[in-house]
Each structure stands twice: as C-alpha cells, then as structure tokens.
Amino acid sequence: MLIYLIRRVLLVVLLCCSGLIAHAGEYRPAWRGLHVDVSRHFFEPAVLQQLMDRMAELKYNRLHLHLTDGPGWRLEIKRYPRLTSVGAWRKRLPAGPWDWRKHEIGNHFTECYGGYYTQDDMRRLIAYGAERGIMLVPEIDLPGHAYATLVAYPELAIEPPPGCKLGRDILAVQRPEVRRFVRGVLDEIMELFPQGTPIHLGGDEVDERLLSSEQQRDFMQEMVDYVQSRGYPAITWDEAACNGVRRQWVMLWRAEKYEHVMSLGQPVILSPNSHFYFDYPQSAAEAAPGEHVITTETVRSFRIPDSPHVLGVQANLWTEHIRTPERLFYMAFPRAEVLAEKFISQSVAEQN
Ligand code: ACM
C-alpha cells in the first residue's frame, strides 16, 4: 500500500512537472483541441455553438478555426473589405471531386456559395466559448493557401517564374507592401481576440520553387515575432519549424515528421494525420481504395507522450468533403469522444 501511494504521488508530481495539468489523479493535456476548416465549407455561428456545447461536455478547451484558405476568406477585416465582399464567395459547383483550382472566387455569379463571420459574430463566438471553457484560436494561413485573398487583392500575388505552371496562390511576402497588408490583418485579429489567445499563422505547403525556403523562413519568423511581441503566442504548422522558424508553438500534422519536430525542443501540439485527421474515412467500408482509414481504434491506439514539450493534442476536420453540419458531426463523433477519453484516462490507467 505504501509503495502504491509513493508511486501515485511520484506520478502526480511527474505529470505536473511535465507541463500537463493533473487534477486529483486525472491526466489532462493542457491543449485539448478540435479544428474546423471553415474555408472550404462555411459553417454558421449556430453550428459552431452546437459543436462547442458538445466539446465542453467532453472537456475540449480549444476550437481552432481555419479561417482562410484558397476557397474562401471567412472573417471580416475592416481594413480590407474585399477579403469578404469578394473572397468569401465563389461559384457554386455541383458535388464531386475536389479541386480548388476549379473554384472561381467572387460574388458576381448567378449561384454563389459562401459566407463569413462578422467581427460581431466572432466576438459572440469568443464569449460563447469562454463561458464553456473553450478558447477560440484563429488561423490565418500564410503565405500560401491564399487564392481567395489574391482574387480580392491580386496585387499581392507572386508572379510564377516564366514557364512555371503552378497556381498563383502565394503572397509575394518579399515585398514590403505585402508584409504591411499581413501586419494590418494581424493587427485587426489582435484587436478582436483577447490578449493571450494563440494566433495560428499557417506556414504549410508552400512550393519552394515559387517562394524559396529562405524567403518563407524570414517572413514567418517576422510574423511569429510580431504577434508574440504583442502578447499573442504564435502557432505554425510543422513545415515552418522544420524550415528553421523558432519561438512559436508547433502544430505537428505530418506524422512522418514526428521525430524531427520532437527533437526541436519547441512546444508541440500533436495533430498527426495518421491518427487525428477526422475528415479521413472512419471505416474501410467508407474508404476509397488505398485511402488511409482512421477508426476509433486508431485514435485509441495513439499514446500521448509524457514530454515537457507536448502541450497537448488536437483533431482536425478539413472540409473539402464535409458540406453540411450533419456531415461535420458525423465525422467528428464518435472519434472525438474516443480522443476525449484519453484526456483523463491514458496516463494514469496505463502507468499504474
Ligand atoms: C495541413 O494539413 N496542410 C496542415
């Protein structure tokens, strides 16, 4: 009995020291997140409120909103009104295979799809989350995934090198006026979200033939430092960290980069696409040939490492193929319930 008690006390001390929150024998990662891509498909504030109700029951505490991407810009920015008057709308296409290049951005089509959150909508959502212990985390994806931005403000786009057939969806961040634009957007985000809210700056999937790794690193580091100096922790996807950007929290999504990212010694939020991409099919019956399946067992099999660098975990819902609230909830649950079981059970159950 004495040995059992000593082991238990040591375990609680260990968990507290490792940056995780331990309450009365429970083990809770500090970051317990769900992510929703509201760019590819837009979800009304009421849907996000419904999702937060469910998240609160399950003790999730972060709702990460992927607010901008190629197919739509979803947050009112008063300095740059065309981001939403133009960038939040696109020609409605029939359901079918997803190819962002087919999405024509603009509000001038007979049948438009889109929508955005006004700043008042966002203030209400922030307050709704806060009442339920959930912090909303905004993401402005930089410097790529910017097609909607660049239809609204074409003068901000890179010029692909002659003969290069790649798309124009990258901000020309080497130009001072483009950095001014980005800082202006971030200023408005910081006016809207309470100080201390982490701001996700994206940083994923930019082709180095179009923007060199040095240009990407220099720009991302400047923006990380810009928000941090104002009291907003910065987050980026793992590409930026692997490319040498420092001082931010890293969101790991490429499972194959796990060892590399963990070796950097920066705070990490784990959302590997091997286990926590909940837009992937949840059973073999739903999967196309060769598609990676993430079942409830896959989620259960993930061990949250006891590392002082790991802030926590997050499941991501990308919405290329999630067009309706019903589908969003169908894809989120029950896998998000299984992930939530881990918040309180994994360590204590497995280590004792
Ligand atoms: C990502 O899935 N590109 C973060």
Residue 18, domain member (yes or no) = no
* Residue 2 clears pLDDT 60, i.e. is over it: no
**pLDDT (mean) for 39-55:** 98
If pLDDT is split at 50, 70 and 90, which confidence band does 345 have? low
Residue showing tokens 């408005």: 188
Q: Is 278 in the pocket of ligand 1 (CB under 6 A)?
A: no
- In which band, very low, low, confident or very high, does the pLDDT at 168 lie, cut at 50, 70 and 90? confident
Instruction: Please count the other Cβ atoms lying within 10 Å of the Cβ belonging to residue 120.
Output: 11
Whether 286 is in the pocket of ligand 1, judged by its Cβ within 6 Å, is no
DSSP string, 106-172: -S-SSSEEE--B-HHHHHHHHHHHHHTT-EEEEEEEESSS-HHHHHHSGGGBPPPPTT----S-SB-
Any domain includes 153: yes
Position 175 in a domain = yes
- Provide, rounded to the nearest whole percent, the portion of the chain with pLDDT above 90: 81
> pTM of the predicted model, to two decimals?
0.91
Nearest CA to ligand 1 atom 3: 204
Q: How confident is the model over 106-160, as pLDDT tens digits? A: 999 999 999 999 999 999 999 999 999 999 999 999 999 999 999 999 999 998 8
- For position 18, what pLDDT does the model report? 39
- Expressed in angstroms and rounded, the spacing between residue 43 Cα and the centre of ligand 1 is 19
More confident residue, 157 or 21: 157
**Res 326 pLDDT > 70:** yes
- Is any atom of ligand 1 closer than 6 Å to the C-beta of 73? no
Q: Is residue 9 part of a domain?
A: no
Q: Is residue 125 part of a domain?
A: yes
Residue 1 resides in a domain: no
Range of the domain at 114: 29-351
Q: What is the mean pLDDT of residues 34-47?
A: 98
- pLDDT reported for residue 161: 77
How distant, in Å, are the alpha carbons of 30, 33, 78, 136, 158 from that of 61?
A: 8, 6, 29, 9, 38
| 14 inside domain | no
Tell me, using a 6 A CB cutoff, whether residue 280 lines ligand 1: no
Q: Is the peptide bond before 334 cis (omega within 30 degrees of 0)?
A: yes
pLDDT at 176 over 80: yes
Centre of ligand 1 to C-alpha 23, Å, is: 33
193 lines ligand 1 (CB under 6 A): no
Secondary structure (DSSP) of 8-32: HHHHHHHHHHTT-EEETTEEE-SEE
Helix-strand-coil percent breakdown of the chain, rounded to 5?
40, 20, 40
**What's the 146 CA to ligand 1 centre distance in angstroms?**
14
pLDDT at 4: 43
Q: What is the mean pLDDT of residues 26-35?
A: 85
Contacts of 286 (CB under 8 A, 6+ apart): 293
pLDDT tens sequence across 247-282:
999 999 999 999 999 999 999 999 999 999 999 999
- Residue 348's pLDDT is 40
What is the count of structural domains for the chain? 1
Q: Indicate if ligand 1 lies below 6 Å from the C-beta of 253.
A: yes
Q: What pLDDT score was predicted for residue 55?
A: 98
Quote the Cα angle for 139-143-148, to 5°. Answer: 75
Confidence of residue 352 (pLDDT cuts 50, 70, 90): very low
Q: Say which residue, 17 or 76, is predicted with more confidence.
A: 76
Check if the beta carbon of residue 277 is closer than 8 Å to that of residue 320: no
**Residue 204 Cβ contacting ligand 1 at under 6 Å:** yes
What is the model's pLDDT at position 28? 75
pLDDT of residue 95: 82
pLDDT at 64: 99
Judged against a pLDDT cut of 80, whether residue 21 lies above it is answered with: no
pLDDT bin (cut points 50, 70, 90) of residue 29 is confident
Tell me the C-alpha distance between 238 and 202, whole Å: 9
Strand partners, 252: 270
Is the distance from the beta carbon of residue 276 to the nearest atom of ligand 1 less than 6 Å? Answer: no
Q: What is the mean pLDDT of residues 170-181?
A: 97
- Per residue in 182-225, pLDDT tens? 999 999 999 999 999 999 999 999 999 999 999 999 999 999 99
Query: In this structure, what CATH number is given to the domain that contains residue 85?
Result: 3.20.20.80
Is there a domain that residue 17 lies in? Answer: no
Cβ pair 200, 124 in contact under 8 A: no
